[in-house]
């Protein structure tokens, strides 16, 4: 299978396609989607960032904006699968095609197989797009490949691609995932849940709001039109634009997945001594915002740490609403402490990870990540957990958190650190979240989209002994 990562090495150095003059008349929606895909596959951009940017650039709104968003996110979500289908239909390796042609074909394939676009309309608009952004020389090729793709629906094509495969391999292909991710899920879930878990990643997450303690309440959000959703006691959902709510505009509430809320809540509920709290990897600030409010309820304060300057700035902006709580934000490396050791009552270590628990939010990431990415992160994750332990005072509690269910970067990291230290003990994390059922993984918490409607967050709680 051709990996979508390769395209940046073969694409011309022409840069962004914004502003290019098409030779054909083409609707702004398809052009915006193509420009976004070009940046995602050619420059490593993120769909959730570049998508809104190109939509705004083309001044799309309403149905057009929604259609462009679906074209971008839906194509990214099934990108590797669509490339395999294109190869099967054309008999050609996508690496032998112009990268722009591959992007155009993937957009057309999504319209044919992943949307309700009539086949003739999907082919006509895609051929028109190819002629406009690539040139007339590729029109016949694009037309021919798309017509061959119409021979089967998506289930038919994935059946062809999965022929001869069994178990996690077959489920991964049928549910539009790389096979290694299917195996990672199969290592953790009962066999009957692997398919539903993978399928849940193909359903866009509904934005969840957090009512930050001391600044707003779920009741205030409900009065403004939101709905209390749980399982977090601070969660609510809102069908409209969150910025329409006064509490969100003022920073007293924000968009935050309920899973992120729950791991912060568990840390706050654990028995611990009095003292400062530390958020070791705070960017972009969602958990820090919630932790600051929870600390203030105990008349305690939070130090938020972020290594990247632009993300540290985001954290500081997030915490501005907590005037009376007096949180502190610094830009520093969590593995090189710039703060007193052995001083913090509670430490949050939400470490950099593969992000396999947020695939429904980051549609392109499943095709960018590889098993090597997980391996490369493990040493950093262990170092950050060691640093978090050193920062905790005797009796202090450390939360090790990832937005990934992969065993190597979750339980594997915790157990490696436990084996190297004699001053740690595990806390029964599931017992601190009684409102969440079926999330216990031994003494750890593992959330899942298909079970809990949250990102697949992992939580381990540890106590530093004297």
Which residues are marked as active site?
Answer: 403
Q: What separation, in Å, do the N-terminal and C-terminal C-alpha atoms of the chain show?
A: 53
Count the Cβ atoms, other than its own, within 10 Å of residue 246. Answer: 13
Note if the bond before 347 is cis, omega within 30 degrees.
no
Nearest to 426 by CA among 459, 379, 388: 459
Site of tokens 């820090």:
288
Q: Cα(188)–Cα(185) distance, rounded to whole angstroms?
A: 5
Strands (E) across 51-106 are located at none
Site of tokens 């809320």:
261
Token output for 115: 């949307």
Q: Cα(84)–Cα(225) distance, rounded to whole angstroms?
A: 44
Q: Cα(131)–Cα(128) distance, rounded to whole angstroms?
A: 5
Q: Cα(36)–Cα(133) distance, rounded to whole angstroms?
A: 13
| Max CA separation in the chain (angstroms) | 73
């Amino acid at each position: 299978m051709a990996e979508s990562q390769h395209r940046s090495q073969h694409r011309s150095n022409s840069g962004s396609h914004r502003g290019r003059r098409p030779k054909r008349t083409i609707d702004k929606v398809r052009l915006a989607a193509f420009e976004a895909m070009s940046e995602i596959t050619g420059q490593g951009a993120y769909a959730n960032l570049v998508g809104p940017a190109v939509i705004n650039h083309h001044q799309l709104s309403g149905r057009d904006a929604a259609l462009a968003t679906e074209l971008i996110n839906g194509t990214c979500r099934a990108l590797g699968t669509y490339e395999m289908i294109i190869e099967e239909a054309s008999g050609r390796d996508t690496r032998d095609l112009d990268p722009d042609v591959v992007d155009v074909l993937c957009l057309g394939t999504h319209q044919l197989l992943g949307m309700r676009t009539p086949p003739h309309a999907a082919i006509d608009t895609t051929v028109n797009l190819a002629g406009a952004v690539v040139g007339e020389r590729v029109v016949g090729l694009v037309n021919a490949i798309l017509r061959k793709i119409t021979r089967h629906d998506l289930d038919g094509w994935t059946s062809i691609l999965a022929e001869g495969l069994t178990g996690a391999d077959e489920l991964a292909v049928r549910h539009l995932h790389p096979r290694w991710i299917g195996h990672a899920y199969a290592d953790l879930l009962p066999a009957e849940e692997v398919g539903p878990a993978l399928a849940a990643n193909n359903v866009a997450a509904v934005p969840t709001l957090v009512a930050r303690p001391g600044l707003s309440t779920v009741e205030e959000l409900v009065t403004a039109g939101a709905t209390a959703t749980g399982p977090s006691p601070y969660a609510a959902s809102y069908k409209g634009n969150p910025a329409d709510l006064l509490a969100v505009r003022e920073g007293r509430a924000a968009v935050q997945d309920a899973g992120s809320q729950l791991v912060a809540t568990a840390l706050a509920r654990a028995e611990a001594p009095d003292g400062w709290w530390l958020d070791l990897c705070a960017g972009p600030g969602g958990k820090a915002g919630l932790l600051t409010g929870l600390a203030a309820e105990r008349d305690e304060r939070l130090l938020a740490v972020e290594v990247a300057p632009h993300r540290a700035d985001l954290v500081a902006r997030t915490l501005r609403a907590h005037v009376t709580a007096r949180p502190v934000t610094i830009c520093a490396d969590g593995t090189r402490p710039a703060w007193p050791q052995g001083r913090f009552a509670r430490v949050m270590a939400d470490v950099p990870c593969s992000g396999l628990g947020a695939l429904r939010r980051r549609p392109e990431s499943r095709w960018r990540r590889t098993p090597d990415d997980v391996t490369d992160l493990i040493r950093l994750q262990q170092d950050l957990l060691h640093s978090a332990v050193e920062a905790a005072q005797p009796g202090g509690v450390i939360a090790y958190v990832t937005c990934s269910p992969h065993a190597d970067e979750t339980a594997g990291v915790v157990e490696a650190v436990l084996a190297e230290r004699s001053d740690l003990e595990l806390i029964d994390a599931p017992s601190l979240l009684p409102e969440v059922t079926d999330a216990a993984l031994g003494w750890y918490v593992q959330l899942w989209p298909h079970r809990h409607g949250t990102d697949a967050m992992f939580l381990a709680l540890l106590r530093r002994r004297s």
